[in-house]
Amino acid sequence: MRLRCEAEVVRRQQQPPGPRGRSARALLSLGRPRGSAGACLLLCTARDRAGARYGLRDNVERFFTRFVDEGKATVRLREPPVDLCLSKANASSLKAFLSAVRLAHQGTNIETLPLSALVPAKTSEVEKPKTKMIITSRRDYPLTKNFPYSLEHLQASYCKLARIDTRVLCLKKLRKLDLSHNHIKQLPATIGDLTCLQELILRDNHLESFSGALCNSTLQKSLQFLDKRKKKTADPALKQLPLLHLGLKSRPGKARGGWELVTYHVPGMGTALFTPSLAGKPT
């Protein structure tokens, strides 16, 4: 059994007591060392991917689980006298992991425990989750690798994209998506499944339609900023964009740098959204 979290090892008998360090991204593994009858914990970090081992049989002094529902817990060991302070873990995974550690401490038949191999962690398993990615050329766009699941901000501009990649639509934590300066003609209805999306930038694309189904999706609640400006005159079909379904109100804007703007505001949020003007051509 393995658990991804942030961990800090606090030495209780350090004299004089030193300041607490910063927690680090870690991978905890519950397994049995070769030739041993009992289980142990292997704690790996980016600084020490080989990891440190801690025996468990009759070696846990106390479990601190008051904030386990927030993904936090502490395992206090007798030898060595350290506290393993765990945080930012998935709450369900943390509960299951602590339950297995408790059984290992109590001497439960090791064959019944969900053990993992005690091997060094991969770099990708202990590095800090990536939340931002900027791509500004076609050659840098990933063709075979998935985007990091933890992305909150993704920019893929000047990549000659004709459609929105289905891999992007799987990034459920996305808050800002910038696909400006591409060749996108349509938005898939499934973009409405990005329930955290607050900013959508589609400037200088070839949009031809904007479905009512999309406007009735979760974007109606989450979206705060939409930019779909275009230097050339918008396709006539764009005049029928059902933006009112998003609860938007418009007011004319000034032309800047060749852009003719209409500004849309989300009621109660005060954040501007930009679209090609529906009256007149860009200057």
Mean of pLDDT values over 109-122: 90
pLDDT of residue 170: 92
pLDDT of residue 251: 40
pLDDT of residue 271: 39
Cβ-count burial 235-261 (b if 16+ within 10 Å, e if not): eeebeebebebbbbeeeebeeeeebbb
pLDDT of residue 91: 94
H helix or E strand, kind and range, residue 200? strand 199-201
pLDDT of residue 134: 96
pLDDT of residue 282: 35
The model's pTM = 0.56
3-state secondary structure at position 96: helix
- Determine the Cα angle at 271 with ends 265 and 272, to 5°: 60
The pair of three-digit structure tokens given for residue 109, joined into one six-digit string: 């038949």
**Is the model more confident about 164 or about 127?**
164
pLDDT of residue 277: 34
148-193: per-residue pLDDT in tens? 888 999 999 999 999 999 999 999 999 999 999 999 998 888 888 8
Q: Which of 62-71, 190-199, 223-232: highest mean pLDDT?
A: 62-71
pLDDT of residue 231: 59
pLDDT of residue 2: 94
15-66: per-residue pLDDT in tens? 555 556 678 999 999 999 888 888 999 999 999 999 999 999 999 999 999 9
**Is the model more confident about 161 or about 128?**
161
**Is the model more confident about 64 or about 211?**
64
Mean of pLDDT values over 194-200: 91
Identity of residue 222: S
Of 86-100, 152-166, 209-223, the poorest mean pLDDT is in: 209-223
pLDDT of residue 7: 95
Q: Does residue 127 surpass a pLDDT of 80? A: yes
236-281: per-residue pLDDT in tens? 444 444 443 444 444 444 433 433 333 444 443 333 444 433 333 3
pLDDT of residue 224: 84
Q: Does residue 135 surpass a pLDDT of 90? A: yes
pLDDT of residue 217: 77
pLDDT of residue 85: 96
